[in-house]
Amino acid sequence: MTWITKIALKKLWLTTLVAAIIAGASVWAMLTLNTELIPDIELPMTTVITFYPGAQPDEVVEKVTIPIEGTIEGISGFKHVSSTSSEGSSVVFFQFEFGTDMDKVNSIIAANLARLDLPAEVRSLPDIMPELGDNPKLWPINMDLLPVVTLSLNGDIPDEELMQTALTQVVPEFEEIDGVLSVSVEGGSGDKVLVNPNLDKMVDYNISIAQLATVLSMQSYGSQKSDWKVICRPDRPGLPGGSSFC
């Protein structure tokens, strides 16, 4: 029998006191332990997304994707690059070694993107579609980019007015908070445009759905009636003046 066992049997009050202290300390540690639903993990990855309206995949590769892939030249820690070029868009994915300072890497890539000689259709797109933001747009892959706060806005006013209140008053206030990357609004209601394309004419003039979507997104529409009708006459070679494919 060891001396610890002898003391424990001889002085039961001391044994009980020590056990109570250990149990109390364990409960206190469990209740005060910091926990995170989403741990702060920095992944050594980043993505560049670019929209090039009306461009075919081969043109996107040559004029957008390849130049963007070159923005990582000379950056230490670079491991792998992969890209996807489709009609009207390009996605370039960069992967680096773990431990790479991604804040520094993203700053260098952003500076290199700003110096690229990209087509005018790419650079001017944010002027036409302000909601797009930058083009190309750098998207760091970070767990911290997940939405952290979701608010609900309601009131005894029309849906359109409530939406405008959110966009013009609430969103700007949150965007000015230090550390906030972006603020978006979901829900609400508003005017909608229903487009029924004539597929036969689209095939005749070699017009794709992606090109149609690009043309529609760059236009403004209005109507004095509750029923909307859209006639699309994009200015492209081979399409007779006054002809409609919608």
Q: What is the predicted pLDDT for the residue at 164? A: 83
67 and 15 together in one domain: no
Burial class (CB in 10 A: 0-12, 13-18, 19+), 66: middle
12 and 58 together in one domain: no
User: Within a domain: residue 80?
Assistant: yes
Range with the largest mean pLDDT of 2-11, 91-100, 152-161? 91-100
pLDDT surpassing 60 at residue 32: yes
For the chain, the average pLDDT equals 76
Q: Print the domain residue range for 94.
A: 42-145
Find the angle CA(112)-CA(118)-CA(120) to the nearest 5 degrees.
140
238: left (phi over 0), alpha (psi -120 to 50) or beta: left
12 and 81 together in one domain: no
85 and 135 together in one domain: yes
Tens-digit pLDDT profile for residues 196-205: 888 888 888 7
Domain count, the chain: 2
Q: What is the predicted pLDDT for the residue at 39? A: 59
- Nearest alpha-carbon partner for 49 in 126, 112, 122, 135: 135
State mean pLDDT over 138-153.
Answer: 72
84 and 120 together in one domain: yes
Work out the pLDDT band at 35, boundaries 50, 70, 90. low
132 and 55 together in one domain: yes
The reported pTM is: 0.54
User: Within a domain: residue 173?
Assistant: no
Q: What is the predicted pLDDT for the residue at 227? A: 42
28 and 46 together in one domain: no
Q: What percent of the chain has pLDDT over 70?
A: 74
Specify the DSSP class assigned to residue 225: S
165 or 129: whose pLDDT is higher? Answer: 165
57 and 14 together in one domain: no
